[in-house]
Amino acid sequence: MSKPIKSLLILITLFLSNNSIASLITNGDFQDNLQQWYSSGNVSATDNRALLTTDIGYFQSNISILAQGDDGTFSFTNSILLTTDIKWLIFDAKIDIFDDLLESDLSSFSEILRINLYDELDFTGASDLLFSSGSDFLVTNNWQTYQLDISALVGRSIALSFELLDENNKKDSIFQLDNIAFSANAISTPVPEPSTFILFTIATIFLRNCKRNY
């Protein structure tokens, strides 16, 4: 292999490594249904997506839980080690049914999708991260990509948990999740990912310069 071609391959490899999403989550696209995920309550997978549904008759309880890095007992079975380059949690979400829009009672509690990142070594919970729909992010009835800053837990072993809380108003809500992953870089939206165009430009310029030199 010629020196210019080898140099180009190294350049492309470095570019891709700086723009990739880490595969710390197993089956984050739910291609294998709920394999590798711990679930509790009314959780299912269909069409390569996870569905969290509230059940009737509870009040402010963790009705539906979807987690990795823990088996629900806080023993941190197969905990997730966030490497030093990880800064973001990225996922897609939408609402199929949101019962708060159908309410007839006087409840002041809203059903919430809560995301917890539990620090394995902090038994006090002081360093755990908590994000809630409605305050930290807004889930709608259209698919959207969300990104949450988790840089405070870089280098730590954690468990990741999606928890849907019920309002106890005798109605169900359904939230869908997909493409759950950790990333070193924030995603720019709605601008399309320009990686292919950038790589093509780099390669063209590089090969043109090599042709001139040789």
Domain boundaries of the chain, sorted by first residue = 1-19+193-214, 21-184
- pLDDT attached to residue 16: 41
Q: Which of 99, 98, 108, 192 is nearest to 139 (CA)?
A: 98
Cis status, amide bond into 4, omega within 30 of 0? no
For 202, the enclosing helix (H) or strand (E) is helix 195-213
- pLDDT attached to residue 107: 43
Question: Please, what are the averages of pLDDT over each run of 10 residues along the chain (214 residues)?
Answer: 52 44 83 96 94 68 84 88 95 82 47 93 94 92 96 96 77 89 82 44 55 54
Exposed e or buried b per residue across 5-26, where buried means at least 16 C-beta atoms within 10 angstroms of its C-beta: eeebeeeeeeeeeeeebeebbe
| Cβ-proximal residues to 86 (8 Å cutoff; 6+ apart), any chain | 22, 24, 150, 151, 154, 182, 183, 184
- pLDDT attached to residue 208: 59
Alpha-carbon gap, residue 12 to 194, rounded angstroms: 14
pTM: 0.73
- pLDDT attached to residue 47: 95
Residue 109 gets which letter from DSSP? P
For 9, the enclosing helix (H) or strand (E) is helix 3-17
Q: Considering the domain delimited by 21-184, tell me its CATH architecture.
A: Sandwich (2.60)
- pLDDT attached to residue 136: 94
- pLDDT attached to residue 46: 93
For 49, the enclosing helix (H) or strand (E) is strand 49-53
